Amino acid sequence: MTGGRGHGGGHGRGLLPGRVQFAAHLAGALTPARPPAAAATGAGREGWAPLPRRAVRARPSGRGLPGRAKWALRAASLLVPLAAWLVIGGAQLVEETFLPSPAAVWAAFTEMLADGRLVSDTLASLGRVGAGFGLAVLISVPLGFVMGMSAAGQALFEPGVGLLRYMPASAFIPLLIIWLGLGEASKVAILVIGVVFFNTLMTADVVRKVPGELRQAAATLGATSGEIVRKVVWPHALPGILDAMRVNAAAAWNLVVVAELVAAESGLGYRIVRAQRFLQTDTIFAVLVVIGLIGLCIDVLLRVLRDRVGRWSA
Amino acid sequence: MTLALRDVGKEYGRLRVLDGIDLTVAPGEFVCIVGASGSGKSTLLSLIAGLAPATRGTVTLDGEPVTGPGPERGLVFQSGALFPFLTVAENVAFGLRLLPLPRADRAARVEWYLREVGLLPLAGALPKELSGGQRQRVAIARALACEPSVLLLDEPFGALDVQTKEDMQLFLRQVWLDTGTTVLMVTHDVEEAVLLAQRVIVLGCDPGRVAAEVPVTLPAERPLEIKRTAGFHALRSTVEDLVRANMSTR
Ligand SMILES: Nc1ncnc2c1ncn2[C@@H]1O[C@H](COP(=O)(O)OP(=O)(O)OP(=O)(O)O)[C@@H](O)[C@H]1O
Ligand SMILES: [Mg+2]
């Protein structure tokens, strides 16, 4: 285009005169010897200094980390605090009642393990989580499907669930004790309240994200509405539902301990309250570590399950 | 099987997308619909597939009015819309599994269609492991396995590179010759339409209507080289001019 002046390309007949006019308009007093097209693009740019280039750049793919370095960092994230604890505890910088030494915590742990309290407390807490979380999942997954698949379901449940979600479950504890007493029912109920609303909304989101095209494709292949739910929406949503469950299992595990702190005769939370009464901080520490480790195990289990089920997604 | 549209119209609120569409597709025909973007090609196909209701007129298959989606009107999407959690073979088997078929019969059918589309070695692969062309082959096999009276395709090769696209065009034509299935395909690629179809329908815009119909007077044997012949060029120009003349003026 640069050299052609109205008689160049065969297909430019209608285009060039206009461009020449446009160029002349833009170029103003520029030397008439310049090819018009070049004048059009070159008008203001002539005087600009070269655009500076920045020396620092982002690395969009992130910094790669060799496997060994990754493991070293993972180990450090646990070992450094542990070492600090050993040093501070060992040097008796803080009174033993406030910060027990690792040795004292270990002793408390083995003692609880030996007399069976640890096992029975852990089973009590796990049993409550199993019942409460399980019930919440049984309610929230179908409810989430209804909300995710039908506009009516969405309109009916979204406001209520959305509001209840913002009420802290732990604030229901006094109410539930009045309603259901101090037994297991109130603890299971608190877990259901703490999990069901979040899990419902998260499930509904996952279900809503199933591409409509897949449902349409299934329909054109002869699937009924029920078959679309079972054979398309369910398998497509399952990994996302497991993700939601993983997040909410952590919440449930936290909440059961809170509930046991308030009112219980067994469980890991109850063990902490007991220990507090006798200023047994070493026992409290040991129970906290156990709570953390069990939570981690639940998370890893759910993650393994999710990765198996979701192998198909990129 | 005869697909017939009589005075079909479609409105979205106040937007008139299609108006007064009359169209008949005879058994075994290969018909292409071309038209500018926004002329309502996809809308027309979804009416025929039964995914959306027409606001006026009737769509019938062998005299039976179309009221919803069904396997006798198989639809292939531009994206393929494969079920990502199923293997290639399971995708092809999807429609068959909904029917009371003996297991061996179903397996034999799946194998036949996988062989037909050249994907038998990839039967156990997941969609994420396939190339774009392979995905479309699975989508076509999946629809064909239900033995549709008419195979509907909405720009099935629009997202493919030129070489793969040519491969797939020859492939589709071969499938049509092999199976005798009636094919109604939407495309914006005029060359593709002329290469494949026996008849090209040009859709005009605002609202979408049948603006012209061009019979493709080329021999049944259509290797890629046919694109270089004068007859092909002439047809292609005719259709291109018609599409351009019926573009939206807005
Ligand atoms: N669900 C919908 N709601 C409202 N308007 C719609 C809907 N679907 C399509 N339309 C409108 O209908 C018109 C035709 O759309 P359609 O997708 O059928 O065109 P098309 O010919 O397939 O275009 P393209 O070649 O770009 O795919 C467009 O103006 C579009 O905005
Ligand atoms: Mg379209």
User: Do B140 and B158 fall within a single domain?
Assistant: no
pLDDT bin (cut points 50, 70, 90) of residue A181 is confident
Residue B173 lies in a domain: yes
Please determine, for residue B186, whether its predicted confidence score (pLDDT) is greater than 90: yes
Q: Give pLDDT tens digits for A268-291.
A: 999 999 999 998 999 999 999 999
Q: Give the closest residue (by CA) to ligand 1 atom 6.
A: B12
Q: Which residues on chain A are in Cβ contact (under 8 Å) with B94?
A: 218, 221, 223, 231
DSSP for residue B164: H
HSE value, Cβ hemisphere, 13 Å, CA-based, for B133: 16
Distance of CA B178 to the CA centre of its chain: 16
HSE value, Cβ hemisphere, 13 Å, CA-based, for A231: 23
User: Do B107 and B32 fall within a single domain?
Assistant: no
3-state helix, strand, coil in chain B (%, to 5): 40, 25, 35
Kindly list the protein residues whose Cβ atom lies closer than 6 A to any atom of ligand 1. Answer: B 12, 15, 17, 35, 37-43, 188
ipTM topping 0.90: yes
DSSP for residue A98: T
Please determine, for residue A95, whether its predicted confidence score (pLDDT) is greater than 50: yes
DSSP 3-state assignment of B29?
A: coil
Please determine, for residue A4, whether its predicted confidence score (pLDDT) is greater than 50: no
User: Do B215 and B159 fall within a single domain?
Assistant: yes
User: Do B153 and B234 fall within a single domain?
Assistant: yes
Give the strand pairing for B199-204 and B73-76: unpaired
User: Do B220 and B200 fall within a single domain?
Assistant: yes
pLDDT bin (cut points 50, 70, 90) of residue A19 is very low
- The residue segments making up the domain with residue B19 are 3-72+149-245
Mean pLDDT over A203-210 rounds to: 96
Q: Give pLDDT tens digits for B154-185.
A: 999 988 889 889 988 999 999 899 889 999 99
Residue B120 lies in a domain: yes
* CA distance linking residue A6 with residue A19, whole number of Å: 9
Can you give the C-alpha Rg of chain B in angstroms? Answer: 18
Q: Which of A64-73, B102-111, B233-242 has the lowest mean pLDDT?
A: A64-73
User: Do B49 and B166 fall within a single domain?
Assistant: yes
Q: Give pLDDT tens digits for A23-34.
A: 444 444 444 455
Report pLDDT for A14.
42
* CA distance linking residue B217 with residue B194, whole number of Å: 9
Could you say which of B129, B147, B165 is where a domain stops?
Answer: B147
Identity of residue B222: R
pLDDT bin (cut points 50, 70, 90) of residue A58 is confident
Tokens 């005009």 — which residue? B204
Nearest-CB residue to B146 (from A214, A222, A232)? A222
Taking an 8 Å cut-off on Cβ atoms, the answer to whether B75 and A223 are in contact is no
User: Do B141 and B158 fall within a single domain?
Assistant: no
User: Do B241 and B156 fall within a single domain?
Assistant: yes
Please determine, for residue B202, whether its predicted confidence score (pLDDT) is greater than 70: yes
Report pLDDT for A41.
54
Task: Say which CATH number the domain at B25 has.
Answer: 3.40.50.300
Q: Which residues on chain A are in Cβ contact (under 8 Å) with B51?
A: 216, 219-220
Tokens 């209520």 — which residue? A160
| Angle, in degrees to the nearest 10, between helices B162-179 and B103-116 | 130
User: Do B178 and B133 fall within a single domain?
Assistant: no
Residue B117 lies in a domain: yes
DSSP 3-state assignment of B220?
A: coil
Please determine, for residue A186, whether its predicted confidence score (pLDDT) is greater than 80: yes
**How far apart are the CA of B50 and the nearest CA of chain A, in angstroms?**
8
User: Do B21 and B107 fall within a single domain?
Assistant: no
Taking an 8 Å cut-off on Cβ atoms, the answer to whether B84 and A231 are in contact is no
* CA distance linking residue A42 with residue A44, whole number of Å: 6
Report pLDDT for A22.
46
Report pLDDT for A13.
43
Identity of residue B159: A
Taking an 8 Å cut-off on Cβ atoms, the answer to whether B142 and A221 are in contact is yes
Report pLDDT for A126.
94
What total of structural domains would you count in chain B?
Answer: 2
Q: Write down the pTM of the prediction.
A: 0.83
Q: Give pLDDT tens digits for A135-144.
A: 999 999 999 9
Structure-token pair, residue B144: 């064909």
Assign a CATH topology to domain A93-313: MetI-like fold (1.10.3720)
Q: Give the closest residue (by CA) to ligand 1 atom 5.
A: B12
Report pLDDT for A183.
86
HSE value, Cβ hemisphere, 13 Å, CA-based, for B104: 0
- B130's enclosing H/E stretch is none
Strand ranges, E, within chain A: none
CB within 5 A of ion ligand 2: which residues?
A: B 42
- B204's enclosing H/E stretch is strand B199-204
Burial class (CB in 10 A: 0-12, 13-18, 19+), B56: middle
Residue B78 lies in a domain: no
- Between residues B66 and A88, which one has the greater pLDDT? B66
- Between residues A226 and A94, which one has the greater pLDDT? A226
CB atoms within 10 A of CB A110: 12
Mean pLDDT over B114-137 rounds to: 93
Domain boundaries, chain A: 93-313
**How far apart are the CA of A11 and the nearest CA of chain B, in angstroms?**
17
Please determine, for residue B102, whether its predicted confidence score (pLDDT) is greater than 50: yes
CB B25 within 8 A of CB B197: no
- Between residues A120 and A183, which one has the greater pLDDT? A120
Report pLDDT for B29.
96
Residue B77 lies in a domain: no
Mean pLDDT over A30-57 rounds to: 69
Phi-psi region of B181 (alpha: psi -120 to 50; beta: other; left: phi over 0): beta
Residue B199 lies in a domain: yes
Report pLDDT for A21.
47
User: Do B163 and B65 fall within a single domain?
Assistant: yes
Q: Which of A98-107, A234-243, B18-27, B98-107 has the lowest mean pLDDT?
A: A98-107
